[in-house]
Amino acid sequence: MRDAPFPQADLPRLPPAAAPQLSIVIPVLNEEGNIAPLVERLDAVLSGIAWEAIFVDDDSTDGTRAAIAAIGAGDPRVRLLHRIGRRGLASAFIEGAQASLAPFVAALDGDLQHDETLLPRMLASLRDDGYELAIGSRYVGGGGLGDWDRRRAGMSSFATKLSRIVLRAPLTDPMSGFFMIRRATFEQAVRNLSAMGFKILLDIVASLPAPPRLIELPYEFRSRTAGESKLDAGVLRDFVLLIADKLVGHIVPVRFLLFAGVGALGIAGHLIVLRLCLTLFALAFPTAQAIATAVAIVGNFVLNNVFTFRENRLRGWGFVRGLLSFTAICSVGAVGNIGVSAFLFGPSVQSAWWLAGLAGAVMSLVWNYAVSSVITWRRA
């Protein structure tokens, strides 16, 4: 028996809503206390503008999503994009921007440290003055760093200077996370974005085919009033990877280079442990080699878990399962290494010993990286 048609006549007929002219993408992680105040401030400063706020939540563990949903239930301008198994402000902004259709897109932190009163000026600069990108800058006249200490200000200044390696546009504050961009300009960059870490503005400007017409507007960076700062050593790691990706990412993935660097440390550690086992503890070579190999594999796994695959870091039982799978993968890679080296050094080919050894090592490295990326550190 066929289902009866749904009684569409009983559906409520809602008046058509005005399409948003401005989408404000707000990446959040555990910002429950800042959601309601931020929406109230946006409502106040954007009066007369058709806007929407897209909160991109990286699986917060507090009540952030509930706070967004409570407001969104009565205000269709407030939307939620809940991401699971993915982290990072840059990728959050990209996904939020792609989930909207507005001709102008702004990036705004969810911690109330950006000055939302600057948004109307940004919009006017893009809509009325012909600019493609409007940036909130802490370094132009009238801007400021708020209560930053000398150490944090120095790190920001150093990162700004380092970013000029990949930038072709004059920017006083390429580290800013507060900006507005034309959708057409964003679309020119989106396919070349690295989507690493926190510095999405730097990523966008470095990914555009030509320097954009831009304006920098001053603002004073505010102090956080609720929630906790997300800045840690991982932010520096992500920034360095972003710069490296813009320089050589079109040739070789920077994550592979990081994996190779960890592998080089593993070789050094292997040799040190082997030497200690042979000289200090007088162990037989097979035993010493087995211990050194085990130490190198565990060390490589730990370092890759912390640095190379930080976004998918394994913990608890996942760490144990990951170590077992990584060991199995490296064992297969070692067998392949020996096989390729033996073939190239054998009588049928007779390559130089160093070339045969290098070819085997490269084969093993590529295998370990490719397979562990898919199996050991697969995305949730």
Give per-residue pLDDT as tens, 261-310.
888 888 888 778 878 888 888 878 778 777 877 888 888 889 888 888 87
The token pair that represents 29 in the structure block: 């992680």
Task: List beta partners, residue 54.
Answer: 25, 79
Q: Name, in order, each residue with C-beta under 8 angstroms of 86's C-beta and a sequence gap of 6 or more.
A: 58, 92, 311, 379
The 3-state secondary structure of 207-227 reads: HCCCCCCEEEEECECCCCCCC
Q: Check: CB of residue 187 under 8 Å from CB of residue 204.
A: no
pLDDT of residue 380: 43
pLDDT of residue 21: 94
Q: Is 122 strand, coil or helix?
A: helix
Phi, psi (rounded to 5 degrees) for 217:
-115, 135
The stretch 227-235 carries a mean pLDDT of 54
The stretch 57-75 carries a mean pLDDT of 93
Strands 51-57 and 22-28, by their bridges, are: parallel
Please name which of 278, 253, 270 lies closest in space to residue 370, comparing C-alpha atoms. 253
Strands 51-57 and 78-82, by their bridges, are: parallel
Which of 151-165, 178-192, 341-355 has the highest mean predicted lDDT (pLDDT)? 178-192
Q: Is 37 strand, coil or helix?
A: helix
* Cα separation, 366 vs 380, whole angstroms: 23
Phi, psi (rounded to 5 degrees) for 368:
-60, -45
Q: Higher model confidence: residue 283 or residue 358? A: 283
The stretch 227-254 carries a mean pLDDT of 65
Checking if the pLDDT of 243 tops 50, the result is: yes
Checking if the pLDDT of 347 tops 70, the result is: no
pLDDT band at 227 (very low <50, low <70, confident <90, very high): low
Mean pLDDT lowest among 86-90, 136-140, 220-224, 241-245: 241-245
Q: Check: CB of residue 217 under 8 Å from CB of residue 121.
A: yes
Q: Check: CB of residue 34 under 8 Å from CB of residue 105.
A: no
pLDDT band at 236 (very low <50, low <70, confident <90, very high): low
Please name which of 36, 88, 33 lies closest in space to residue 57, comparing C-alpha atoms. 88
Please name which of 260, 256, 255, 378 lies closest in space to residue 321, comparing C-alpha atoms. 378
pLDDT band at 8 (very low <50, low <70, confident <90, very high): low
pLDDT of residue 192: 85
Burial of 39 (0-12, 13-18, 19+ CB in 10 A): buried
pLDDT tens, residue by residue, 93-131 = 999 999 999 999 999 998 888 999 999 999 999 999 989
Q: Higher model confidence: residue 37 or residue 273? A: 37
pLDDT of residue 92: 92
Phi, psi (rounded to 5 degrees) for 48:
85, 0
Mean of all residue pLDDT scores within the chain: 81
pLDDT of residue 360: 58
Checking if the pLDDT of 58 tops 80, the result is: yes
The number of angstroms, rounded, from the C-alpha of 307 to the middle of its chain's C-alpha atoms is 13
The stretch 64-71 carries a mean pLDDT of 95
Residue corresponding to tokens 């966008």: 204
pLDDT band at 1 (very low <50, low <70, confident <90, very high): very low
pLDDT tens, residue by residue, 178-198 = 999 999 999 999 998 887 767
Checking if the pLDDT of 135 tops 90, the result is: yes
Mean pLDDT lowest among 136-140, 227-231, 258-262, 301-305: 227-231
**Class of the CATH domain delimited by 22-248:** alpha beta
Q: Is 338 strand, coil or helix?
A: helix
pLDDT band at 49 (very low <50, low <70, confident <90, very high): very high
The token pair that represents 240 in the structure block: 């360095």
Domain ranges of the chain: 22-248, 254-374
Provide, rounded to the nearest whole percent, the portion of the chain with pLDDT above 70: 76
Mean pLDDT lowest among 167-176, 215-224, 366-375: 167-176
pLDDT of residue 166: 67
Mean pLDDT lowest among 35-44, 146-155, 291-300: 146-155
52's enclosing H/E stretch is: strand 51-57
The number of angstroms, rounded, from the C-alpha of 168 to the middle of its chain's C-alpha atoms is 22
Checking if the pLDDT of 358 tops 50, the result is: yes
Q: Name, in order, each residue with C-beta under 8 angstroms of 257's C-beta and a sequence gap of 6 or more.
A: 244, 248
